[in-house]
Amino acid sequence: MDSTPRIGPGCGIVISHAMLRLVLLSLLTLPLAAQDRIATVQVRVSTDRSDWRYEPGQPVRFRIVAVQDGHALSGVKVTYRVGPEMMPPKIERTETLTADGLTIDGGTMKEPGFLRCVATVERNGKTYRGLATAAFHPEGIQPTQKDPAGFDAFWAAGKAALARLPIDARITPLPEYGNASADCYEVNLQNIGMGNAPSRFYGIFCEPKAPGKYPALLAVPGAGVRPYRGLAAMAARGILTLQVGIHGIPVTLDQSVYDSLGAGALMNYSTFGLDNRDRYYYRRVYLGCVRANDFLTSHPKWDGVNLAVTGGSQGGALSIVTAALDARVRGLAAYYPALADVTGYLENRAGGWPHMFRAADGPLSHRSPDKIETSRYYDVVNFARRVKVPGLYSWGFNDETCPPTSMYSAYNVIPGQKKLLLALETGHNNIPEQVAEVQAWLEAFLKP
């Protein structure tokens, strides 16, 4: 008779006690399933004052903690560097972190400015980074940029040349960009160009579908080369909106076109023609923003009174520039404006994006007299001196693209009504709460 254990329909299970003990023993000796872990390390740097503010001469202490999975790391090396923002560090050391973190003496500053601590931790072959920036009486920061005697005449001549060009608005409906309450169009306007040849200026215009008169908002872009979709949601809430590009190319092309231009013909456009004030890249851009307002204020649905401008980074710069150049602008909201006090590096302190004067020598240096002179006609500081309309400005102390020293240099010389909304810990970015407050301010300003 076959004595092999069988399992099947109608069959019993025949297993000896010896066999059962062998099976259980083999199960107990199997290795446990491996459990791998992976996590991001957060390097948190903070100041010893919750408002991050100090008076010149007062010492600052920075605290550094590295956190993984919600718990502070102990026994890891941290390298920290402390010095004026964007400048070579005055302190550079490597120490070992404990679970309680590391508190260091950061020193002080004798004059208004910003002192930054940058800490890095290496873990699992990666480098993690954090920073905090202490402010020393930033309201006392004054610009290094000079105001040239010919500034107003130069821009008056530019606006006069623009006014001689017809707007020649060419409008293409974009039904897929709109919504139930707003229609959108690509707008193509005639603009001042290089020399005597005109160029074109493109954007996405969105208007409420309902008949009526509405306030208008010009949205100006951050740096880069990209397409745009317009501000249909804001138009649906009763505001004419025009979101523009600056490069004189359509703003509805495939992304690959902009990628190619950004990596090729338009790479480093922010310094094109910097040796000549009449041929610098931003001349056409600044005047193009005025041309965009020509379109908005000539639209039959404009209410005839309310016009504002907004943007961030390069767009923050363009917001200030446009408000200074165009008397029709009644207010602005600017996030972390670029192109401010770019000559700061010539005085051994932080300057604004695009940092063209940061390098003192070598192939990246632009420190020639003609380029420095051209910068005086385009620096946001010199436009800020001429802004008389109300404005909301917003940035953080940890911005490494548009250093706060450069932004305060412009903000502190604005004669018009101004309000500063600080998101202290942010770098070159927004947080939702910040955006919501700025948007609410803009809508309340445009629809009083």
- Whole-angstrom distance, CA of residue 180 vs CA of residue 176: 11
Catalytic-role residue among 313, 319, 375, 409: 313
Closest C-alpha to 383, from 93, 114, 42, 154:
154
- Whole-angstrom distance, CA of residue 95 vs CA of residue 75: 9
Q: 408: which 2 tokens?
A: 């305060």
Closest C-alpha to 326, from 299, 288, 355:
288
Q: What is the DSSP annotation of 211-271? A: -S-EEEEEE-PPSS-------HHHHHTT-EEEEE-SSSS-SSS-HHHHHHHHHTTTTTGGG
185 and 171 Cβ atoms separated by less than 8 Å = yes
325 and 315 Cβ atoms separated by less than 8 Å = no
Q: 438: which 2 tokens?
A: 């700025």
Catalytic-role residue among 247, 355, 366, 428: 428
Q: What is the DSSP annotation of 323-362? A: HHH-TT--EEEEES-SSSSGGGGGGTS---TT-TTS-SSS
170 and 188 Cβ atoms separated by less than 8 Å = yes
**Residue 69 falls in the annotated catalytic set:** no
- Whole-angstrom distance, CA of residue 142 vs CA of residue 152: 21
Mapping DSSP to helix (H, G, I), strand (E, B) and coil, where does residue 74 land?
coil
211 and 299 Cβ atoms separated by less than 8 Å = no
**Residue 199 falls in the annotated catalytic set:** no
Residues in the chain: 448
**Residue 36 falls in the annotated catalytic set:** no
Closest C-alpha to 103, from 112, 95, 92:
95
Catalytic-role residue among 199, 399, 406, 409: 399
- Whole-angstrom distance, CA of residue 170 vs CA of residue 186: 8
- Whole-angstrom distance, CA of residue 13 vs CA of residue 160: 101
Active-site amino acid positions = 313, 399, 428
